Amino acid sequence: MIRAIGLVALGVSLVASQSVAEGMQRIGYGRMIQNDFIGDTQDRWRTGSVASSRVWGRSAWGGALPSNPGDVLEFRINAEIIAPDNLETPAAGDRPYAGSLSFGLHTHYERSAIEYSLGLDMVLTGDNTLLDQFQGAFHDLLGVQKASDAVLDAQIDNAVHPTAVLEMGHSVQLGDGISIRPFVEARAGVETMLRAGADLTIGGVGRGELLVRDPVSGQRYRTVQNKVPGYSVVLGGDIARVHDSAYLPESSGVTHTDTRSRLRAGLHWQGEKSSVFYGVSWLGEEFEGQQEGQVVGSLRLNLDF
C-alpha cells in the first residue's frame, strides 16, 4: 500500500511540477549526498541521505528572492537511511532501522528583509520504500556488513507523514565577502521540532544565489547558481527543541532527546565550468542512551570537462 502511495506521490509531484509551474521557467537544480563514510567513516545512525531540488521561477533569476510566495517554486525529493550502530546485532536501546523517502513542494521569497522558505513534504517510511533493499545490495557490492533480518524486521512501520516546514532567515553583511545568516526553522510531521541557528559565509560563492538547507546535516546546497569562479568557506550551527519523532516511536522503547545540536563546516569551490562542495557536520545525540554524536560528510560534485 505504501509503495503504491509512493508511486502515486511521485506521479502527482511530477504532474504538479508541470501544472503548477506552467508559465514558469526552470531556473535551477541542486543536489547533495550525506554519508558518515565520508565523515567519521562509521556506518550508523544518520548513515546516508540524498537531497535534490528542482527550482522554477515565474521570471529569470535576478540575484534576489521575489517578494511574492509562489514566484519561485522548489520541487524537492529526499531519501534517507537511518540505522543502529551495529547492523547485525544492535545493542539494547539502540535506535531502530528506518527508511524515509519524501516528495515536496516549497516556495522561497523575501519580505521586509526576512527570507522565507515554506513548504510541505509527503514523507514515506518503512520497508515499502525499498531503501533497505537498496542499502543491502550496495553493501553486498562493497563487501561490507548489511542489516540482519532481525534488524530489518524491527524497522519502523510503513506510514505516510505529511510534514510542513518553515524557515525564516536574515542575511547580514559583516564586510567584503563575509556574511552571517541567523535563522529559525519549524517542522511538524515526521519529526516535530523548533530550531534556531546561524550560518557564516566567507567568500563570494553563493552570493546572489538560492541555497536550500539539507534536513539531515544542516548544510545549504546551491540550486540557482551564478557560476562566478571563486570559493566560500561556510561555518554554522543550530540547536533544536524536539517534540516527537516518527523515527523513534514509542513502540521501539527508545526515547528521543529533548534537544538536538549540530555544528558544520564546508567549502564551496566554483571553477569556469565545474564546482565542488565538501562539508562535515557534527550531529549531537538524538536518543537517550546514545553515547556520542556522529560526523557525517556532505558532497556535491558538478564536473564538466
Span 175-183, average pLDDT: 96
Q: What is the mean pLDDT of the chain?
A: 93
pTM of the model: 0.91
pLDDT in tens, 163-175: 999 999 999 999 9
Burial class (CB within 10 angstroms; exposed 0-12, middle 13-18, buried 19+) of 272: exposed
DSSP run (H or E) holding 4: helix 2-20
- pLDDT, one tens digit per residue, over 192-225 is 999 999 999 999 999 999 999 999 999 999 999 9
For domain 2-302, which architecture applies?
Beta Barrel (2.40)
Residue 18 pLDDT greater than 80, yes or no: no
pLDDT for the residue 142: 86
Tell me which of 2 and 196 has the higher pLDDT: 196
pLDDT digit string (tens) for 60-111?
A: 999 999 999 999 999 999 999 999 999 999 999 999 999 999 999 999 999 9
Residue 170: which of 196, 204, 193, 192 has the closest Cα? 196
Predicted local distance difference test score (pLDDT) of residue 15: 46
Q: What are the strands, taking DSSP E only, across the chain?
A: 25-35, 45-57, 72-83, 98-111, 114-125, 159-169, 172-175, 178-188, 191-203, 210-213, 220-224, 230-245, 259-270, 275-283, 294-302
